[in-house]
C-alpha cells in the first residue's frame, strides 16, 4: 500500500515537473510554430538565477519572479535578433534555436564553470502522511506546476491578451486588419513562453544538480510530451506530460529508469507516428 502510494506520488511529481517544463514549450511551439530547442537553456538560465541570487539571501519568491522576468527578457532579445527573421522558415527555427542553445550553454560554462553549483531549498523537511514521508519541496513543486498551468490557461482563455494572441494564431492577417499589432503579440508570446521555462528552471533548481547540462535531460521527454499530446492546443501538454511522465515512472518502478526511458521514448515515437496531431489534437489549419 505504502509502496503504491509512493510510486503514485513519484509519478505525479514527474508528470507535474514535465508539465512545468512543457507549458512554455507548447506556447512557443503551438502558438508561434517555432520549435525552440533553446528551451532547455532557458530552463538552465532560470536555475542559475537561483544560484546567483541565493548568494544575496533574497527571499525565494523574489528569486522566482526575477528568474521569470530575466529569462523573459532574454527571450525578448532573442526573438528580436533571430526568431522574427525566420518565422516563415519553420525548419530553420529548429536549427537557429539549437545554435542559440549551444551559445547560451557555453556562456554559462564560461561564467560559472562546467561544474555543479550549490542551491538551497527554501524548505526541505519531509512531510509524513498516510504512513509515508515525502519531500515537502517536491510537494511544493507539484503545487507550483498546477498553479502555473492554471494561471497560463486563465491568461490564454480568460484575458484580452490571451484572446488577442489566439486571434493572431487563428488568422494573422485578419487580426492585423482589425488593429492588432502582431509584432508585439509575437514578442510578448515568445517572452512569456521563455519566462515560463526560466521559472520552471528556478523552481526545479534546489532539487537538481545545477550544471550546464541540466536542461538537455528534459528536452527530449518534453518535446515527446507535447507531440504526443498534440500542439494545436495547450491542453495537449497536460495529456502528453501525463502519459510520458506517468508511464515512465511506472515502468521505472517495475524495471529500471533506463529501460523506462527506452520503452517510453519508443512508444512515444509510435504514438506520434500513428497520431501526428496528438491525442488532444484536432488538425491544425
Partner 1 sequence: MKSKYSRSLTVLFWAALAGAPLFLGGWNLGLLSQLMIYGIFAMSLAFIWGQGGLLCFGQSLFFGIGAYAMALTTKGMIPGVPAITLAGLVLAMILPALVAGLLGLALFKGRGLYGAYFGIVTLSAAVIAERLAINWSYIGGFNGILDVPPLRLEWGSWQIELYDPLLFFLVVLVAAFAAFLVLLKLERSAFGTVLRGIRDNETRAAFLGFETAEYKTVAFAVSGAVAGLAGALFAVQFAFVSPAILGFALATEVLIWVAIGGKTVLLAAFIGALAVKSVENVLSDTLGQYWLLVLGLLFVAAVVVLPRGLLAPFLNLSLPPALRRSEPLKKSTTT
Partner 2 sequence: MLSVRDLKAGYIHGAPVLKGLDLDLTRGDCIALMGRNGMGKTTFVKALMGVLPEIAGSIRFLDQEIVGLAPYQISNAGIAYVPQGREIFPDFTVEQNLTMGRIGKPKQQNESFDFIYEYFPILAERHKQLGGTMSGGQQQQLAIARALVGRPDLLLLDEPSEGIQPSIVQELAAILRRIVEQEEMTVIVVEQNLNLVRRLAHHVHFIENGLIKSGVAVDEINKDPAIISRYLSV
- Verify binding: residue 170, partner 2, rule CB under 8 A: yes
Q: Return the residue of 102, 124, 178, 254 that touches partner 2, per CB under 8 A.
A: 178
Are 249 and 255 in contact, with CB atoms under 8 Å apart? no
Which residue ranges make up the site for partner 1 (CB under 8 A)?
Answer: 35, 82, 85-86, 89-92, 94-96, 98-104, 106-107, 109-110, 216, 220, 223-224, 227, 258-259, 261-262, 265-266, 268-269, 272-273, 276
Distance between CA atoms of 253 and 257, rounded to whole angstroms? Answer: 8
- Verify binding: residue 181, partner 2, rule CB under 8 A: yes
What is the gyration radius of the CA atoms in the chain, in angstroms? 19
The nearest distance, CB 171 to partner 2, in angstroms, is 6
Between 122 and 167, name the residue whose CB sits nearer to partner 2. Answer: 167
The nearest distance, CB 232 to partner 2, in angstroms, is 11
- Verify binding: residue 153, partner 2, rule CB under 8 A: no
The nearest distance, CB 25 to partner 1, in angstroms, is 11
Are 189 and 28 in contact, with CB atoms under 8 Å apart? yes
- Verify binding: residue 176, partner 2, rule CB under 8 A: yes
Between 151 and 171, name the residue whose CB sits nearer to partner 2. Answer: 171
Stretch that binds partner 2, among 10-18, 56-64, 78-86, 164-172 (CB under 8 A): 164-172
Neighbours of 22 (CB within 10 A): 33
Q: Return the residue of 33, 116, 182, 261 that touches partner 2, per CB under 8 A.
A: 182
- Per rule CB under 8 A, count of chain residues that contact partner 2: 18
Of partner 2, partner 1, none, which one does residue 167 interact with (CB within 5 to 8 Å by kind)?
partner 2
Stretch that binds partner 2, among 59-67, 86-94, 106-114, 167-175 (CB under 8 A): 167-175
Q: Return the residue of 65, 86, 166, 263 that touches partner 2, per CB under 8 A.
A: 166
Give the residue among 278, 273, 209 at the shortest CA–CA distance from 242: 278
Stretch that binds partner 2, among 4-12, 22-30, 53-61, 159-167 (CB under 8 A): 159-167
The nearest distance, CB 228 to partner 1, in angstroms, is 11
Task: Transcribe the chain into DSSP letters.
Answer: -HHHHHHHHHHHHHHHHHHHHHHHHHIIIIIH----TTHHHHHHHHHHHHHHHHTTT--HHHHHHHHHHHHHHHHHHHHHHTGGGSTT-HHHHHHHHHHHHHHHHHHHHHHH-SS-B----S---EEEETTEEEEHHHHHHHHHHHHHHHHHHHHHHHSHHHHHHHHHHH-HHHHHHTT--HHHHHHHHHHHHHHHHHHHHHHHGGGS-BSTTTTHHHHHHHHHHHHHH-SSSTHHHHHHHHHHHHHHHHHHHHS-HHHHHHHHHHHHHHHHHH-TT-SS-----
Are 280 and 22 in contact, with CB atoms under 8 Å apart? no
- Verify binding: residue 167, partner 2, rule CB under 8 A: yes
The nearest distance, CB 39 to partner 2, in angstroms, is 27
Between 6 and 86, name the residue whose CB sits nearer to partner 1. Answer: 86
Instruction: Give the residues lining the site for partner 2 (CB under 8 A).
Output: 160, 163-164, 166-167, 170-171, 173-183
Amino acid at each position: 500500500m505504502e509502496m503504491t502510494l509512493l510510486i503514485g506520488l513519484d509519478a505525479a511529481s514527474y508528470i507535474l515537473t514535465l508539465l512545468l517544463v512543457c507549458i512554455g514549450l507548447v506556447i512557443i511551439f503551438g502558438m508561434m510554430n517555432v520549435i525552440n530547442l533553446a528551451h532547455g537553456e532557458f530552463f538552465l538560465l532560470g536555475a542559475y538565477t537561483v544560484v546567483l541570487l541565493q548568494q544575496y539571501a533574497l527571499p525565494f519568491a523574489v528569486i522566482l519572479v526575477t528568474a521569470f522576468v530575466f529569462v523573459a527578457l532574454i527571450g525578448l532579445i532573442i526573438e528580436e535578433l533571430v526568431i522574427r527573421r525566420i518565422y516563415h522558415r519553420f525548419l530553420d527555427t529548429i536549427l537557429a534555436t539549437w545554435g542559440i542553445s549551444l551559445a547560451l550553454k557555453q556562456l554559462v560554462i564560461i561564467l560559472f564553470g562546467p561544474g555543479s553549483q550549490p542551491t538551497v531549498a527554501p524548505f526541505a523537511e519531509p512531510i509524513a502522511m498516510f504512513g509515508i514521508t515525502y519531500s515537502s519541496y517536491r510537494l511544493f513543486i507539484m503545487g507550483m506546476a498546477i498553479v502555473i498551468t492554471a494561471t497560463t490557461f486563465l491568461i490564454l482563455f480568460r484575458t484580452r491578451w490571451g484572446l488577442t494572441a489566439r486571434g493572431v494564431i487563428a488568422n494573422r492577417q485578419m487580426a492585423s486588419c482589425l488593429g492588432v499589432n502582431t509584432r508585439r503579440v509575437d514578442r510578448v508570446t515568445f517572452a512569456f513562453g521563455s519566462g515560463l521555462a526560466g521559472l520552471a528552471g528556478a523552481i526545479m533548481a534546489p532539487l537538481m544538480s545545477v550544471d550546464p547540462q541540466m536542461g538537455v535531460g528534459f528536452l527530449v521527454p518534453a518535446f515527446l510530451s507535447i507531440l504526443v499530446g498534440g500542439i494545436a492546443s495547450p491542453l495537449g501538454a497536460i495529456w502528453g506530460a501525463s502519459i510520458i511522465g506517468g508511464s515512465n515512472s511506472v515502468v521505472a518502478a517495475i524495471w529500471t529508469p533506463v529501460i523506462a526511458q527506452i520503452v517510453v521514448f519508443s512508444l512515444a515515437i509510435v504514438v506520434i507516428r500513428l497520431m501526428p496531431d496528438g491525442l488532444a489534437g484536432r488538425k491544425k489549419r
